[in-house]
């Protein structure tokens, strides 16, 4: 089985979970939200987003249900579960530790010189 880098996947998971913390949202909405809030710096690939949603649903981090979108179309809405909320907290902490560590490494040269 192919396996993607856990780090990148972890990042996407984190972004999706964080987005859903705002409230239930469909896949398109998640794409849009991440693009907007990152000033279009982060572009979510649909080819990664939907499998990720599927996996997180199976893992029980998020729930899915059919609902009606803003423009009156049937859309699948994803919602954070309590388990997902805990997962978000954990991933967020992890992410911050990792980025912090990366920053420390990057700053090491500049700091001592």
Partner 1 sequence: MRWFRRLFLTFRMKGHQREMEEEIRFHLAMREQRNLDEGIPGDEARRRARIRFGNPVVWMETMSEIDIHIHLRSAIEDLRFGFRQLVRNPIFAVTGVLTLALGIGINTTIFTVADSVLLKPLPWPGADRMVAIYERMPKFGVMNDSWPDYVDWRSQNSVFANMAALQPSSSTVNLRGEDQQVPSVAVTNSFFDVFGVSPILGRAFTSQEAIPGSGLTAVVSYAFWRQFLGAEPSAVGRSIEVDGQAATVVGVLPPGFSIPYGRFEIYLPFGVKTHNPEVADRANHPGLGVVALLRPGVTLAAARTNMAGIMKRLSRSYTQSNRGETVVLTPLRDQFVGGARNILFLLLSATGLVLILACANIANMSLARAAARRREFAVRLSLGASRSRLFRQALIENLPLALLGGASGIGLAALIVHPLVHFYPHRILGLEDARLNAVVFCFAAAVCVTSWLLFGIVPAFAASRRTDAYTSIRTTAPDTHISGHTRLRSSLLVAEIAIALVVTVSTMLVLRSLLAVTRTNPGFRADHLLVLESIHAGSSRGQSAGTIEFFRELLSRLRHLPGVKSASAAMELPLRGVIWTSPYVPDGHPQPPNTQQPWTEINFVMPGYFQTMEMRRLGGRFFSEADSNSAPMAVINETMARSIGVANPVGGQLYVAYAPHATMQIIGVVSDEKQFGLDKHDMPEVYIPATQSPVPVMDIVLRTSSPPEFLANAARLTVHDFAKSRSAPRAVPMEMFLDSNLADRKFVSLLLGLFDVLAVTLALVGVAGVVGYMVEQRTHEIGIRMALGASRTHVMNMILLGQCAKFACLGVAVGIGCAFALTRLLASQLYGVQPSDPLTFVAASIGLMVVTLLASYFPARRATMVDPVVALRCE
**Of the residues 73, 86, 90, 102, which one makes contact with partner 1 according to CB under 8 A:** 73
Q: How far is the CB of 112 from partner 1 (least distance, A)?
A: 45
**Of the residues 6, 65, 74, 82, which one makes contact with partner 1 according to CB under 8 A:** 74
Q: Does 27 bind partner 1 (CB under 8 A)?
A: yes
Could you list the beta-strand ranges (E) of 1-113. 25-26, 62-68, 74-80
How would you class 6 by CB atoms within 10 Å of its CB: exposed for 0-12, middle for 13-18, buried for 19 or more?
exposed
- Unique residue bearing structure tokens 């693009």: 35
Q: How far is the CB of 98 from partner 1 (least distance, A)?
A: 24
**Of the residues 10, 18, 24, 76, which one makes contact with partner 1 according to CB under 8 A:** 76
Helix (H) or strand (E) holding 97: helix 82-112
Widest Cα–Cα separation across the chain: 60
Contacting positions for partner 1 (CB under 8 A): 1-2, 26-28, 31, 45-48, 50-51, 54-55, 58-59, 69, 71, 73-76
């Amino acid at each position: 089985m192919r396996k993607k880098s856990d780090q990148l996947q972890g990042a996407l998971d984190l972004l999706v979970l964080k987005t859903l913390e705002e409230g239930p949202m469909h896949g398109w909405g998640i794409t849009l939200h991440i693009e907007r809030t990152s000033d279009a710096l982060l572009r979510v690939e649909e080819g990664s987003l939907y499998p990720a949603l599927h996996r997180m649903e199976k893992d029980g981090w998020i729930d899915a249900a059919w609902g009606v979108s803003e423009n009156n179309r049937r859309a699948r809405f994803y919602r954070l579960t309590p388990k997902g909320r805990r997962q978000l907290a954990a991933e967020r902490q992890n992410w911050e530790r990792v980025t912090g560590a990366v920053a420390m490494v990057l700053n090491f040269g500049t700091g001592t010189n």
